[in-house]
């Protein structure tokens, strides 16, 4: 919250090179960087210090410097190097702000003698307002966006030129129209990273030629193809929550967890989109922290959903699911520290994500490893479940959609890993690959949003995926002898060959055990040991044999393979094809064309 308070700026110390009768001024974002505005003039007091009158600022954060009335006389470091633009946030009332001036640009030797390089802009956006001034700001002037010294001059060939001093081996800069609101950007109003040039002796031989493609304030930030996908995914997610919870089924616990996960995804997607609006971001920049909360929340919630969906009990020594959220709690604590820090420091940290600070690199790296670990953990749970249900069900459960979701998540993790590789390469080689990085980040969010579209599709087309039933396997109540085993085996053959129990597409091990008046454990052991098969393969063997018999009968010549497969107990085409090839070693077409 911005507190409208009066602040007095005090110069406790000025450089010894300051002229005796010099008039000093405060200049900054609050007065369009006018270096000699009398409204912001310092008055020298009897104590030898310089004071401004109490000033009231309309912005929560301001940037400023001190001059002696012109940019040629702006403050610099004692060695003549530029002073990085000063910043202050008014999250709390500031009655007095004390400053020290260590040097002046026209007095300190290095500021005067710095070697200069020509920067030439050969193209500007067609939307640039007529006669709009174009400035260059960078590490050579403390990143002042409206420094009149560095206003580009239009030359005869229509291009713009300016000479800038070089103080370091790496020259970094951006172009503006006088302030950071009108800075150059990328498509759709996105911020672009700093331009840079490594300086060698040969660099001074010819101008640095650049092209300005977009201005941030003139680009459509909130609505564009990329953000529309995220918006649609977020809105669909909200509706999907109501659809899932409207089903009458016995899996409400899993669907509640899924609803929470979808709600999290939807809100984060909509939050990310809102930050493309400059006014929203400028008013609530700390909102950008919220989208990062998905780092340590998504994977454990999705893991809990999978376990509840598949009715997988926790193992005695398994880590309590609440411990999975410890990294999230730690992240929240760290982000709370960011949240309460002065706004100008927070914005600097947020902007620096093009060249991330160590804390963001660390959090991102840990989050990547955390999500990779959960990805393999979830994949293993699904794999074991699909293997184990073959001993209980004669039909396929509708969980294949989970493979698609896992594929999407795997794609996100691969792109996330590549981002770290590209970032490391850029840092080592001092080569900016931010365009590629931005593309990879966008791709991750697109894949991430596809999860919502995928769940929405299945919720409408195949609602049974949210209705998986639990099968309780009974423990053996008594031990069995060989005679009992053989009797059960004979009864099993009889019920399959005579009663044709396999024709029931929903046949399960408990159903069959009830028909045979035995317990599930004994029946399962009889099938495994007596026929050397799991329950599904045992039942599907009868279905495939019956299918082959019917195809060869004259009365079924006009029937399709799928129609016959459904008649003999298969519940889907994919289940039939998979079982047929597993049992015969060939596809149906190959088998009957042989």
- 479-534, pLDDT tens digit by residue? 556 777 888 888 999 999 999 999 988 888 888 888 888 888 888 888 888 888 88
Which residues, at least 6 apart from 179, have a Cβ–Cβ distance to it below 8 Å?
A: 29, 32, 33, 145, 146
pLDDT band at 475 (very low <50, low <70, confident <90, very high): very low
Mean pLDDT of the chain: 84
Cα separation, 405 vs 229, whole angstroms:
18
Higher pLDDT, 311 or 271: 271
Q: How high is the pLDDT of residue 354?
A: 40
Side-chain-side CA neighbours of 280 within 13 Å: the count stands at 12
Q: How high is the pLDDT of residue 316?
A: 60
CATH top-level class of 114-218: mainly beta
Q: Decide: 393 and 572 in contact? Cβ < 8 Å.
A: no
- Determine the topology of domain 482-593 in CATH: Arc Repressor Mutant, subunit A (1.10.10)
| Residue 4, SS3 per DSSP | coil
Q: How high is the pLDDT of residue 353?
A: 41
> Model-level pTM?
0.71
Least confident residue range of 16-30, 303-317, 405-419: 303-317
The strand pairing partners of 89, in sequence order, are 61
Instruction: Calculate mean pLDDT across residues 57-65.
Output: 88
* Most confident of the following: 62-76, 211-225, 227-241, 466-480: 62-76
| Residue 416, SS3 per DSSP | helix
Is the pLDDT confidence value at 438 over 80?
no
CATH of segment(s) 225-466: 1.20.1070
Q: How high is the pLDDT of residue 462?
A: 61
CATH 2.60.40.10 given to domain 6-100? yes
Is the pLDDT confidence value at 469 over 70?
no
Cα separation, 339 vs 149, whole angstroms:
36
Least confident residue range of 25-39, 129-143, 204-218, 462-476: 462-476
Instruction: Calculate mean pLDDT across residues 120-130.
Output: 92
- 216-260, pLDDT tens digit by residue? 888 666 677 888 888 999 898 898 888 887 766 657 788 888 889
- 395-419, pLDDT tens digit by residue? 666 666 788 889 999 999 999 999 8
Domain boundaries, the chain: 6-100, 114-218, 225-466, 482-593
Nearest 5°: phi and psi at 160? -125, 140
Q: Decide: 511 and 518 in contact? Cβ < 8 Å.
A: no
Instruction: Calculate mean pLDDT across residues 446-468.
Output: 72
The strand pairing partners of 17, in sequence order, are none
To the nearest 10 degrees (0 to 180), the angle between helices 225-245 and 252-274 is 160
Is the pLDDT confidence value at 317 over 70?
no
Is the pLDDT confidence value at 427 over 70?
no
Cα separation, 88 vs 378, whole angstroms:
47
Pairing of strands 195-198, 96-100: unpaired
Cα separation, 378 vs 383, whole angstroms:
9
Higher pLDDT, 302 or 222: 302
Cα separation, 435 vs 439, whole angstroms:
6
Least confident residue range of 421-430, 472-481, 563-572: 472-481
Pairing of strands 116-123, 160-165: antiparallel
Is the pLDDT confidence value at 429 over 60?
no
The string of DSSP codes covering 291-306 is: GGGHHHHHHHHHHHHH
Q: How high is the pLDDT of residue 201?
A: 85
Q: How high is the pLDDT of residue 342?
A: 77
C-beta atoms surrounding 589 within 10 Å = 10
Cα separation, 304 vs 258, whole angstroms:
9
The strand pairing partners of 577, in sequence order, are none
Nearest 5°: phi and psi at 464? -65, -20
- 164-193, pLDDT tens digit by residue? 999 988 898 999 999 888 999 887 767 787
Cα separation, 115 vs 164, whole angstroms:
8
pLDDT band at 383 (very low <50, low <70, confident <90, very high): confident
pLDDT band at 355 (very low <50, low <70, confident <90, very high): very low
Instruction: Calculate mean pLDDT across residues 570-580.
Output: 85
Is the pLDDT confidence value at 377 over 90?
yes
Most distant pair of Cα atoms in the chain: their distance = 116
Is the pLDDT confidence value at 540 over 60?
yes
pLDDT band at 309 (very low <50, low <70, confident <90, very high): confident
Q: How high is the pLDDT of residue 500?
A: 92
To the nearest 10 degrees (0 to 180), the angle between helices 535-551 and 573-584 is 90
SS (H, E, C) 445-485: HHHHHHHHHHHHHHHHHCHHHHCCCCCCCCCCCCCCCHHHH
Instruction: Calculate mean pLDDT across residues 328-341.
Output: 89
Higher pLDDT, 109 or 332: 332
Give the N- to C-terminal CA distance of the chain in Å, as an integer. Answer: 78
- Token pair belonging to 487: 């009797």
Domains 6-100 and 114-218 share a fold: yes
Is the pLDDT confidence value at 111 over 90?
no
Which residues, at least 6 apart from 145, have a Cβ–Cβ distance to it below 8 Å?
A: 33, 135, 137, 176, 178, 179, 180, 183
């Amino acid at each position: 919250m911005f507190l409208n308070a009066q602040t007095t700026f005090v110069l406790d110390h000025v450089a010894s090179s300051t002229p005796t009768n010099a008039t000093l001024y405060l200049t900054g974002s609050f007065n369009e960087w006018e270096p000699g505005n009398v409204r912001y003039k310092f008055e020298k007091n009897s104590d030898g210090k310089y004071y401004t009158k109490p000033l009231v600022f309309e912005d929560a954060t301001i940037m400023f410097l001190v001059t002696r009335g012109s940019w040629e006389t702006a403050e610099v470091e004692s060695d003549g190097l530029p002073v990085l633009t000063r910043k202050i946030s008014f999250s709390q009332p500031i009655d007095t702000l004390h400053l020290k001036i260590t040097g002046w640009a026209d007095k300190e030797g290095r500021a005067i003698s710095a070697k200069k390089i020509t920067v030439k802009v050969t193209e500007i956006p067609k939307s640039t307002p007529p006669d709009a001034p174009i400035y260059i700001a960078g590490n050579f002037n403390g990143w002042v966006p409206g420094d009149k010294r560095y206003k580009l001059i239009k030359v005869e060939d229509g291009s713009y030129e300016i000479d800038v001093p070089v103080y370091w081996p790496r020259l970094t800069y951006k172009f503006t129209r006088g302030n950071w609101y009108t800075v150059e950007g990328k498509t759709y109003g996105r911020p672009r990273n700093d331009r840079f040039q490594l300086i060698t002796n040969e660099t001074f031989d010819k101008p640095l030629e650049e092209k300005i493609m977009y201005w941030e304030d003139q680009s459509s930030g909130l609505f564009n193809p990329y953000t529309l996908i995220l918006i649609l995914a977020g809105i669909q997610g909200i509706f999907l929550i109501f659809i899932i919870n409207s089903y009458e089924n016995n899996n409400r616990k899993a669907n509640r967890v899924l609803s929470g996960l979808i709600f999290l995804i939807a809100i984060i997607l909509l939050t990310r989109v809102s930050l493309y609006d400059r006014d929203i971001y400028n008013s609530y920049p700390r909102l950008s922290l919220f989208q990062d909360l998905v780092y340590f929340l998504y994977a454990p919630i999705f893991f809990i959903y999978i376990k509840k969906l598949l009715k997988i009990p926790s193992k005695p020594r398994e880590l309590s699911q609440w411990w999975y959220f410890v990294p999230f709690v730690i992240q929240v604590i760290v982000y709370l520290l960011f949240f309460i820090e002065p706004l100008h420091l927070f914005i600097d940290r947020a902007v620096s994500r093009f060249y991330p600070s160590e804390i963001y690199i660390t959090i991102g790296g840990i989050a990547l490893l955390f999500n990779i670990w959960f990805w393999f953990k979830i994949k293993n749970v699904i794999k074991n479940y699909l293997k184990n249900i073959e001993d209980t069900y004669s039909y396929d459960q509708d969980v294949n959609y989970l493979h698609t979701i896992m594929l999407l998540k795997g794609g996100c993790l691969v792109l996330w890993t590549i981002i770290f590789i590209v970032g490391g390469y850029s840092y080592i080689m001092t080569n900016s690959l931010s365009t590629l990085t931005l593309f990879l980040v966008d791709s991750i969010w697109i894949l991430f949003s596809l999860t919502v579209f995928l769940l929405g599709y299945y919720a409408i087309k195949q609602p049974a995926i949210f209705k998986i039933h639990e099968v309780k396997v009974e423990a053996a109540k008594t031990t069995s002898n060989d005679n009992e085993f053989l009797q059960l085996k004979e009864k099993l053959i009889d019920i399959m060959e005579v009663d044709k129990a396999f024709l029931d597409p929903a046949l399960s091990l408990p159903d069959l055990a009830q028909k045979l008046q035995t317990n599930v454990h004994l029946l399962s052991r009889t099938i495994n040991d007596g026929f050397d098969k799991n329950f599904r393969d045992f039942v599907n063997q009868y279905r495939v044999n019956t299918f082959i018999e019917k195809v060869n009968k004259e009365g079924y010549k006009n029937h399709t393979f799928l129609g016959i497969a459904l008649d003999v107990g298969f519940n889907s085409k994919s289940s039939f094809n998979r079982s047929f090839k597993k049992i015969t070693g060939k596809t149906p077409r190959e088998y009957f064309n042989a």
